Amino acid sequence: MRAINQMLAVTWLNLRNLPQRVGSSLVAVIGVAAVVLVFAAVLSMAQGFERTMITAGADDTAIILRDGATSELTSGMSNEQVLIIADAPGVLKDGDQSVLSAELYVIVDVRKISNNTEANVPFRGVQSGAFDVRKNVKLADGRMFEEGKNEIVVGRAAQQEFVGLETGSTIRFGQSEWQIVGSFEAGGSVSESELWTDVRVLQSAYRRGNSFQSVRVKLQADSSLEELKAALDADPRINPDVFTEKEYYSGQAEGLTQFIKLVGYPLTILMSIGAIFGALNSMYSSVSVRGKEIATLRALGFGPFSILLSTIVESALLALVGGIIGGAVAFGVFNGFQVSTLNGPSFSQVVFDFAVTPDLLVDGLQAALVIGAFGGLFPAIRAARMPVAQALREL
Amino acid sequence: MKYFRLIWKNVWRKKIRTSLTILSVFVAFLLFSLLSAFGFAFRGGVDVADAERLIVIHKVSLVNLLPMSYLNRIAATDGIAFVTHATWFGGYYQEPRNQFGQFPVDPDAYFAMYPEFNISTEQFEAFKRNRTGAVVGQELADRFGWDVGDRIPIQATIWSRTDGERTWEFDLEGIFSTDDPRGSTAIMLFHYDFLEEARAFAKGMVGWYILRVESGADPVQVAKSVDLLFANSPAETKTSTEAAFAQSFTKQFGNIALIVMLILGAVFFTLLLVSGNTMSQSVRERINELAVLKTLGFGDRTVLGIVLSESIVIMLIGGLLGLGLGWVLVQGMAKQMAAFLPGIFLSPGAILGAVGLMIGAGVLAGIFPAVKAMRLTIIDALARA
Amino acid sequence: MSETLARLTGVSRTYQKGKEKVEVLHQLNLEIPDGDFVAIMGPSGSGKTTLLNLLGGLDKPTAGTVMVGDAELSSMSNSQLSRWRSNHVGFIFQFYNLLPVLTAHRNVELPLLLTNFSAKERTKRASIALDIVGLADRAKHYPRELSGGQEQRVAIARAIVSDPSLLLCDEPTGDLDRDTADEILGLLQILNREHGKTIVMVTHDAQAAEYAKRMLHCDKGTLEAKEVA
């Protein structure tokens, strides 16, 4: 009990004369703030991207591709195969219509508003079930495209990110012109980065005959996946890969997310090491400036352990302040910042927001505390070990 | 110069403080070299791109194919030395994550187009003779431990065969390399004829054309004339220089360069704070000594120079060490990541830039304390002691 | 007596302290012949240190002229004064003011860095200076490894290494015990009598003053001669 009291007393003293050591303390705080800021900013990209991709995926929707395809783009299905899927067990029916959407997409070039360079945007042909097989998709403005016509509805995020996609405008791809008749929202998911039209029209415009790339079906129940899979595997006319949409999108997101994390974590570790050196520097200087004071406290009877702990606590507190500042700036500046980038497997742009999540902030604070603790450890040991008599003599 | 001993001794006055500062500098420049090397890779080998090679793709998107019939029409255009083609095969080896570039090509023409690839004549001849033969780059062979004579099965994700199979088997006839450390050889080349014969669809189509401009011809003009040839046809083309083509991808990643700049900015800002703090503490402790130097006759500007030099020395020690380790790590990483991100490279320009930064940062960190030292009036300083 | 080495004519030095003006030296006249050893005594704040500073070109008078040798210090710029100091005057302080990061030898060599001498030449001259003060065996020691008296000797060696004609001492024995003080003062005497150095010494210590050839009393900014016993 006495030890804790001592420690609190010394810590309080330390903090009270902090203003005298503003210079070096500020250095430690800012160093930690920078680390947490960079950490939160970089990893919020991964978080945001992942969230956008995974939001798209539902558990009660299955997506069916050709066996071995790594993504929709490399998959191919015939009309017969689509019909087989439509009749398979496990597929939800609305009356006697199966709830599904057989789809196909191509890549088109559209300019980004931000840097006016051309980017690959997915142009997807869908069937009438497209809204039903996806979660949270609804029309935002305008109207749905009419079947058989060169009409497009654009995802809201795509509209914000790329040039010339306003409702009511006309856009030209290759030799054909298309009317943008409306826009849709999809809960922030990757679908919002796309342009949709009637699949028949797309097939015809891009000479895809009667082929598709994927089929999305609504399952009767979450458990129906197995049933559906078994039935399709058994059928020799079709060779499918069946996933829940959620699984599929996680897989698609993995590449870029892993990459960002692969860069982000080592970067943060390196920066933290640098910050530790900075913190060490500050704390050593702090300890040496406080030499007389520490010696006096020791002479008065405060044990070395209380000196040690109080130094570490001071360092940790400074680091914590730095961490909070860094996190706050990251949140204020980056959270919700919209950006788009190329996703390898789909070979097209995905629009997403930086997401500075609570998890991330907590991680950042933890890093800050670690920096603070390490930064304070050796100076604390030196402070505790300072030879009292000598320090007093230097008065 | 003769003041060096004094500068050096001053730098190491407080060993721990100097060491910690040097370590901070070390980390900063290590980061700089790593980020710079990655940044270079992200520029998609723009710096290695041959100025006289043009790439012709389908105007709507790279993903769309072009007819083989275009080959002769392009070859006949003014200003073109010769043309060849390539196609994205898009398969993987054993597991989906082992993806890399496989291209069906016309061997003679392709190697003529890319003279930077070196391969032994025997291996090349063996490759040409074998319809199902393939050659791979050294980086790829290293990654998978392949040797000439191995049978390599590739799982196709796009191209199914007429016999329904999706595994395409190739005989490894040769391994090629490149002298340019910035170039990448993480690719596999095989016969276009084999693809054409065995593929189930898209017969007679290729992914893109590569052409070499005649020396003296203007690449921009040539590009325009090629595109003009196919304007208003079902498959319009977009022709650009290799560099522009590479850039079109990296630009799609958003502004990677900007993000890297911002991170480095944060790192260096902190670094300057730490070093600046060290330098100002160092000067504050030595007011007396600096005054003594002046009484001895050291001029104001000499004293300024001495303090600035101390700051620069600290930056150089830490910075060169960081750069050194960075260099070593980059060599290793470039090998490891050759397949996902080719071209990780610490360029001479980056190294020079780093040294410039060291000196600049040294000046910035030390300038306020140095000016303070310069402006010291001897009498005030000595009286303070 | 030989010719005059230093001459102060009508010298006044006034400082601005906040709103007030403080006159530290008032219309001072002083002549110091070559080879002189003069002790200046007086209470704190009497201006003796200011006088020393003016003689050494560390400060400039508000009025009057300061001449040392051929140089008119009062009209020289700061950089000119720096250069002049390195060749013509050596300082000795109460608290030695050696650079703690350098060895004794390197400390003594310091003023020579301002010359064009080669490294070898510099080393030689520094060694000679250390020899004169009797500390050749401590050349490689750092100031923290030396006693007070030894540090002061090193400081003296530093002051004479560029062979200046004038030595200015500000309380050179102020921090030393009696015996050590006597040694230092004896050394100063040797430098004056055998090496021809002109020495101006400011001191509180009456006994120290006895080592000098003459004594002056400084009070309220003016000087008066005092008899040396």
The strands making up C222-226's β-sheet, listed across from edge to edge, are C89-92, C166-170, C198-202, C37-41, C214-219, C222-226
Alpha-carbon gap, residue A74 to A76, rounded angstroms: 7
Q: What integer pLDDT is reported at residue A159 of this predicted model? A: 92
Helix (H) or strand (E) holding B66: strand B66-67
* Chain B CB contacts of C58 below 8 Å: 295, 378-379
- Residue from the list B2, B5, B297 with its beta carbon closest to the beta carbon of C82: B297
Q: What integer pLDDT is reported at residue C128 of this predicted model? A: 94
Mean pLDDT along residues B187-200: 89
* Chain B CB contacts of C100 below 8 Å: 13, 289
Higher pLDDT, C104 or B182: C104
- Average pLDDT taken over every residue of chain A: 84
Contact state of C86 with B288 under an 8 Å Cβ cutoff: no
* Chain B CB contacts of A282 below 8 Å: 277
- Does B have 3 or more CB contacts under 8 Å with A? yes
* Chain C CB contacts of B293 below 8 Å: 110
Question: Which range, A11-20, A164-173, B337-346, has the best average confidence (pLDDT)?
Answer: A164-173
Higher pLDDT, A31 or A291: A31
Q: What integer pLDDT is reported at residue C229 of this predicted model? A: 40
Residue A47 has pLDDT above 80, yes or no: yes
Q: In this predicted structure, which of A362-366, B80-84, B217-221 has the lowest mean pLDDT?
A: B217-221
pLDDT tens digits, one per residue of A202-216? 988 887 888 899 999
Q: Where are the domains of chain A?
A: 2-54+253-393, 68-238
Query: Which of C52, C112, C114 to mutate to test binding with chain B, by most B CBs within 10 Å of its CB?
Result: C114
Cα of B290 to nearest chain C Cα, Å: 9
Confidence of residue A379 (pLDDT cuts 50, 70, 90): confident
Q: What integer pLDDT is reported at residue B165 of this predicted model? A: 80
Cα of A40 to nearest chain B Cα, Å: 12
* Chain B CB contacts of A74 below 8 Å: 90, 157-158
Question: Which range, A29-33, B202-206, B278-282, C128-132, has the best average confidence (pLDDT)?
Answer: C128-132
Alpha-carbon gap, residue A212 to A100, rounded angstroms: 13
Contact state of B296 with C56 under an 8 Å Cβ cutoff: no
Residue C228 has pLDDT above 60, yes or no: no
The strands making up C71-72's β-sheet, listed across from edge to edge, are C20-33, C4-17, C63-68, C71-72
pLDDT tens digits, one per residue of B96-150? 777 788 999 999 999 998 888 899 999 999 999 999 999 999 888 888 889 999 9
The DSSP call for residue A355 is -
CB atoms within 10 A of CB B175: 21
pLDDT tens digits, one per residue of B172-190? 999 998 887 666 778 899 9
* Chain A CB contacts of B236 below 8 Å: 174-175
Query: Which of C17, C97, C167 to mutate to test binding with chain B, by most B CBs within 10 Å of its CB?
Result: C97
Contact state of A274 with B236 under an 8 Å Cβ cutoff: no
Chains in contact with A via at least 3 Cβ–Cβ pairs below 8 Å? B
- Buried b / exposed e over A255-272, threshold 16 CB at 10 Å, is ebbeebbebbeebbebbb
Percent of chain C with pLDDT over 90: 51
Query: Which of C99, C121, C140 to mutate to test binding with chain B, by most B CBs within 10 Å of its CB?
Result: C99
Mean pLDDT along residues B226-252: 80
Beta-carbon pairs below 8 A across chains B and C: 63
Indicate the pTM of the whole model.
0.77
- Average pLDDT taken over every residue of chain B: 85
pLDDT tens digits, one per residue of A121-165? 899 999 988 888 887 888 999 999 998 999 999 999 999 989 999
Contact state of C83 with B299 under an 8 Å Cβ cutoff: yes
Mean pLDDT along residues A68-80: 81
pLDDT tens digits, one per residue of B332-382? 877 766 656 667 788 888 899 999 999 999 999 999 989 988 888 888 777
Number of H helices, E strands in chain A: 11, 14
Q: Where are the domains of chain B?
A: 4-45+254-384, 53-252
Contact state of C82 with B5 under an 8 Å Cβ cutoff: no
- Residue from the list A34, A68, A115 with its beta carbon closest to the beta carbon of B255: A115
Query: Which of B2, B5, B287, B289 to mutate to test binding with chain C, by most C CBs within 10 Å of its CB?
Result: B2
Contact state of A106 with B64 under an 8 Å Cβ cutoff: yes
- Buried b / exposed e over C143-154, threshold 16 CB at 10 Å, is beebebbbbbbb
Residue C110 has pLDDT above 90, yes or no: yes
Q: What residues form DSSP beta bridges with C168?
A: C91, C200
Contact state of C78 with B300 under an 8 Å Cβ cutoff: yes
Q: What integer pLDDT is reported at residue A60 of this predicted model? A: 83
The DSSP call for residue A67 is T
Integer angstrom CA distances of residue A121 from A16, A158, A162, A351, B58: 58, 8, 9, 10, 15
Mean pLDDT along residues C14-40: 88
Contact state of B379 with C53 under an 8 Å Cβ cutoff: yes
Q: Where are the domains of chain C?
A: 4-226
- Residue from the list C95, C102, C114 with its beta carbon closest to the beta carbon of B298: C114
Q: What integer pLDDT is reported at residue A395 of this predicted model? A: 46
Confidence of residue C1 (pLDDT cuts 50, 70, 90): very low
* Chain B CB contacts of A117 below 8 Å: 248, 251-252
* Chain B CB contacts of A31 below 8 Å: 270, 273-274
Give helix B256-285 / helix A245-289 axis angle, nearest 10°. Answer: 10
Contact state of B9 with C119 under an 8 Å Cβ cutoff: no
pLDDT tens digits, one per residue of C48-86? 888 898 999 888 899 999 999 888 998 898 888 888 998
State whether residue C76 sits within 8 Å of chain B by CB.
no
Residue A252 has pLDDT above 60, yes or no: yes
Are A36 and A326 contacting, i.e. CB atoms less than 8 angstroms apart? Answer: yes
| Collapsed DSSP state (helix, strand, coil) of residue B209 | strand
- Residue from the list B21, B252, B271 with its beta carbon closest to the beta carbon of A341: B252
CATH assignment, C4-226: 3.40.50.300
Mean pLDDT along residues C145-164: 93
Contact state of B63 with A31 under an 8 Å Cβ cutoff: no
What ipTM score was computed for the predicted complex, to two decimals? 0.85
- Residue from the list C86, C95, C106 with its beta carbon closest to the beta carbon of B5: C106
